[in-house]
Amino acid sequence: MLVVAAALGVAFSQTVLAVPAAALAGNPLATASTLPFHYPAFDKIKDEHFIPAFNEGMRIQLKEIDAIANSKAAPSFDNTIVAMEKSGALLTRVQTIFGNLQGANTNDKLDAIDSEMSPKLAAHADAIYLNAKLYARVKALYDKRTTLKLDAESEHLLERYHTDFVRAGANLSAADKEKLKAINGTIAKLQTTFTQNVLKETNASGLVVDTREELAGMSPAAIDAAAAAAKAKGMDGKFFVAVVNTSGQPPLAELTNRAVREKLMALSLARGSHGGEFDNREVVLKIAKARAEKATLLGYENFAAYSLEDQTAHDTASVNKLLSELAKPAVSNARKEAADLQAVVDADKGGFKIGAADWAFYTDKVRAQRFAFDENQLKPYFELNNVLTNGVFYAANKLYGLSFKERKDLPVYNPDVRVFDVFDADGKQLAIFIADMYARSNKQGGAWMNEYISQSSLLGTHSVVANHLNIPKPPAGEPTLLTYDEVKTAFHEFGHALHGMFSNVKYPRFSGTSVPRDFVEYPSQVNEMWAVWPEVLSNYAKHYKTGEPMPKELLDKVIASKKFNQGFLTTEYLSASLLDQRWHQLTPAQIPTDVLGFEAQSLKDMGVDFAPVPPRYRTTYFSHSFSGGYSAGYYAYLWSEKLDADTVEWFKENGGLQRKNGDWFRAKLLSRGGTDDAMNLFRNFRGRDPVIEPLLERRGLTGK
């Protein structure tokens, strides 16, 4: 298929068409893997294999593209569009495997390769999309598309290619094309620098303390793990608590020492903005300016306008309206929640005003008072293997008829990674699923799904899909007990996996999650509902020692508390979303010189400058926004949640966890990938446009 202009780390479809080359003799990337479903031969792939495979892959694809562009035959759908879909087999394979490993299991060599190849890959994509002869063939077909008698998926593919070329600058003058190439190369290099700085700063920014007593409140096992982490870093006798790439840090809910909490919160918020080799402030300014210049060159007011045109939201006005409508009630709720927390502080004669470092700790106290339980009561019932096999997989079996069989014979890139064959209801193998659940210092933060192989009937491929979480690994012999949020995340990411595995499309351009960014989170968010569905939860929420099920009264409290703390959760998310839009709605002339000053003023202007609730991501570690994946698109989670909340109501109205419901959702939406307009897919499934009331009710923003 045609490899699009994107930063390294984005998964692409992979064709099985092998293109052996003398330059790659002995290189396992030279041809498609002979393992089942072309599963990557991780045990054979070495760091030194990537650069020659990248270079040869680009050379071969440009040769293929040149043949298409300069063909003497009149342009046809097959000799132009389908030919592009089939091109770049080697490059697609190496880019996919490299990008996935660089996110999940990187090292200094891979980081160096990333830095070297990012601008080259951007230039490679430009060489394709800015090829005048190639675009002329695409445009000739597009102009007469109604007379070509194409099936619906093929016609949509032709329209998408035309849109892709136009948005990539195909209509620019020769001089402006050269300017765009330079800008794209700059953006690619800067995004790579930002990404690497975030990971390195996160690893360097852990909390270091001298005594066990300073970590009071954390479990003995967690404190032991902190001691082991410090020893591994050459700080024997001290304790090291790693941070995750969000503003809030999980230990803040447990640490009883306020000074230690404040130290942890401060170092979290300062990442990338306090000087040193990983400071991202100048990188942010350069990215924002380069993106704004690109948008201007392409005829858009700003980068957000350029980005949103190709999403279901379509324009900045729609996104601004959604975010601004929710900001005031969200902050209002957060202030009420803060008052509840302050009351507990005052009752304890704390003598301080509630701050960001205190929120999680005192939220647990209020939750315990209000609902008579705390999060630690849940963890013994959420053992990782039970959550995965008897929860996530069980729900998929009941809803879609899927079954799973773990296999130990396929190679993995880390010993903790697990691999499962996935079988459809008819017993035929549907996909291979990779589960990479534990945090590592060489693994990017957060949780995500990617594909090593994407489904395509044109190429005869089936999905090899991976889920990645960042669950702290316990000491040897200890169980892996999850928080409620980690359980939800496991279900969420598997929703993405289902979207990939259920793909039933012809063209790789449309496979699986190849949908607008503000639609891609929708199916994954829907899958979260099964985490607390009574039949599912009773099957996996069992005490890891006794096997006893979670008491019904505890479950009832969990469900009753679902709207609890929504003011905080909505405000921290909205703050980040609004920052993302503020940065990307600037023109080149409006780019500021002071990152933190601009951030502070933006939060104030938007009415979300509530210090106890900082943005979920501050600018300098906001990877969603400045690494390229969700630039001007972080709002997408909320946009998708509107569809999700409405869909949850549909499932409830139609009987919940039943095969007929799963089959309908799969047939009308999950299997369709990007073969139609995303909102058309929703309407075909739901029978109408989405409504916002279920979302407002879920987030406690109705005033009830």
Active site residues: 493
Q: What is the 3-state secondary structure (H, E, C) of 108-165?
A: HHHHHHHHHHHHHHHHHHHHHHCCHHHHHHHHHHHHCHHHCCCCHHHHHHHHHHHHHH
What CA–CA distance (Å, rounded) separates 464 from 703? 45
- Mention every residue, 6+ apart, whose C-beta is less than 8 A from residue 38: 14, 16, 32, 453, 461, 464
- Mention every residue, 6+ apart, whose C-beta is less than 8 A from residue 275: none
Compute, in degrees rounded to 10, the torsion defined by CA atoms 629, 634, 635, 641.
Answer: 80
Both tokens of 505, joined, read: 């499309």
The DSSP line for 346-365 is HHTT--S---TTTHHHHHHH
Helix (H, G, I), strand (E, B) or coil at 407: strand
| Nearest one of 485, 481, 473, 478 to 541, comparing CA atoms | 481
What CA–CA distance (Å, rounded) separates 665 from 523? 9
Distances (CA, A) of 521 to 440, 492, 515, 644: 25, 9, 10, 9
Q: Which residues pair with 449 in a beta bridge?
A: 467
H-helix or E-strand spanning residue 95: helix 89-104
Pairing status of strand 429-438 against strand 463-471: parallel
Contact 26, 115 (CB under 8 A): no
Contact 238, 225 (CB under 8 A): no
The DSSP line for 605-665 is HTT---TTS--SS-GGG-HHHHSSTTTTTTTHHHHHHHHHHHHHHHHHHTTSS-HHHHHHH
Both tokens of 643, joined, read: 């569809």
The DSSP line for 172-193 is S-HHHHHHHHHHHHHHHHHHHH
